Amino acid sequence: MPKFKKMEFSAQKIAEYLNGTVEGDKNVTVKSISRIEEGEVGSLSFLANPKYISHIYNTQASIVLVNRDFVAEKKIHSTLVRVDDPYKAFASLLELYSQFKLQKIGIDKSAIVRENTIIGENIYLGAYVVIEAGVKIGNNVKIYPHSYIGENVEIGNDTLIYAGVKIYNDCSVGKNCIIHSGAVVGSDGFGFAPETNSDFKKIPQIGNVIIEDRVEIGANTTIDRSTIGSTIIRNGVKLDNLIHVAHNVEIGENTVIAAQTGISGSTKIGKNCLIGGQVGFAGHIKIGENVKIGAQSGILSDVPDNAIMQGSPASKLKSFYKSTVLFNKLPEINTQVNKIQKEIEALKQKNNK
């Protein structure tokens, strides 16, 4: 991987990294990224969609990624880097650019690190980070300002924790995870027992949360600790912003869940599921593997493997579409029913004469 000085990417270094070829000034550099129609001098852009070809002749972007077989019909002012797939190449550069920006190392003087902690190499602890006793932090971990890491928490190598994250005691986070600002891991599950006087007695939540490797957790998402045992987020899970995962939930490998979804306690979700935004899950149900659930669905019971669900309460997708068609015809059906009722009434009156 090339090393870019002061975040300046030269056309030559970009081409080397992407196994591409330069057409134009190989020494021109870029410091920012832009869309091709809004390109400015000093920025990098790409052309992947044929709809945007006209913009390549007017863009001010200093470097543009294009297909190897792209043929220009007019003069182009930008330096071109020819690659096999401009979109994938651009994504690779975005990842590299992001990694470069996040290469902070060191412990801020305002950070608090308690006794009996194990801190790995090349870590970053930002301003006012608090690391409680018994914490184990792996190598290359970045923890941004105002984050709190509770007692006996374990954090694996190469994990990134953004500002304002709170991880309660005894939880664990695996390798190569990303936790975005405002996320809370290990807060109490919602457990209360009704009393005879209509009051509620809080049930202690003495479990923890286990987050495995390559998990990403969005901003302001909350994952509750279990009553007993563990709430578990398996390898490769991706959680969007503003998701609530209740106590004793388990989410299977590589499942992706969109924003504002709520998962009630003790629900188990299988591997490789795709779950839309604002989905609500009842508690103590089981969702199979490879399940797809449309946005705003209400899941009240078990769902088998490979099912596609939609609606509230949810049903299989074909049934949902049929129901939607009937629902949209209700005004017409109502008009017809009213007409038939009037005709029946008229016949009754006629027969009574």
Residue-wise pLDDT tens digits, 25-60: 999 999 888 999 999 999 999 999 989 999 999 999
Which CATH number does the domain housing residue 147 bear?
A: 2.160.10.10
Report the interhelical angle of 330-352 vs 317-328 (nearest 10°).
50
Residues 220, 247: one domain? yes
Task: Give the tens place of pLDDT for each residue, 73-107.
Answer: 999 999 999 999 999 999 988 887 777 766 789 99
- Asked if residue 326 and residue 305 are part of one domain, the reply reads no
| pLDDT reported for residue 166 | 98
Mark whether 313 and 325 lie in a shared domain: no
Residues 25 and 59 in one domain: yes
Percent of the chain predicted with pLDDT > 70: 97
| Residues 273, 182 within the same domain | yes
Mean pLDDT of 278-287: 97
pLDDT of residue 5: 40
Residue 69 has pLDDT above 50, yes or no: yes
Sheet holding 298-299, edge to edge: 112-113, 130-131, 148-149, 166-167, 184-187, 222-224, 244-245, 262-263, 280-281, 298-299
Same domain, 94 and 230: no
pLDDT at 8 (0 to 100)? 80
Q: Is the peptide bond before 313 cis (omega within 30 degrees of 0)?
A: yes
Please indicate, yes or no, whether residues 70 and 111 belong to a single structural domain of this protein.
no
Residues 298 and 246 reside in one and the same domain: yes
For residue 126, is pLDDT > 70?
A: yes
Lowest mean pLDDT among 53-67, 205-219, 336-350: 336-350
Closest CA to 208 of 225, 191, 194, 183: 225
Amino acid, single-letter form, for residue 90? F
Separation between Cα atoms, residue 100 and residue 152, nearest integer Å? 30
Domain end call among 67, 101, 135? 101
Q: At residue 296, what are phi and psi to the nearest 5 degrees?
A: 65, 20
Q: Distance of CA 251 to CAs 52, 286, 307, Å?
A: 40, 10, 17
Instruction: Tell me what pLDDT residue 349 has.
Output: 81
Domain that holds residue 76: 5-101
Q: At what angle do helices 86-101 and 11-18 cross, to 10 degrees?
A: 110
Are 60 and 167 within one domain? no
pLDDT level of residue 315 (50, 70, 90 thresholds): low
Q: Do residue 126 and residue 253 come from a single domain?
A: yes
What was the pLDDT predicted at 276? 97
Residues 298 and 265 both lie in one domain:
yes
Mean pLDDT, the chain, as a whole number? 92
pLDDT in tens, 9-30: 899 999 999 999 999 999 999 9
Query: Which of 101, 116, 136 delimits the end of a domain?
Result: 101
Position with higher pLDDT, 60 vs 340: 60
Quick one: pLDDT at residue 3? 37
Active site residues: 247
User: CATH number, domain at 45?
Assistant: 3.40.1390.10
Give the count of beta carbons closer than 10 Å to the beta carbon of residue 58: 13
Average pLDDT over residues 143-149: 98
pLDDT, position 7: 63
Confidence at 320, pLDDT banded by 50, 70, 90: confident
353: pLDDT confidence band, cut at 50, 70 and 90? low
Same domain, yes or no: 111 and 80: no
**Structural domain ending residue among the three candidates 68, 101, 134:** 101
Distance CA 186, CA 183 (A): 10
In this predicted structure, the answer to whether residue 334 has a pLDDT above a threshold of 90 is: no
* Count of the separate structural domains present in the chain: 3
pLDDT in tens, 149-163: 999 999 999 999 999
Q: What is the mean pLDDT of residues 58-80?
A: 94
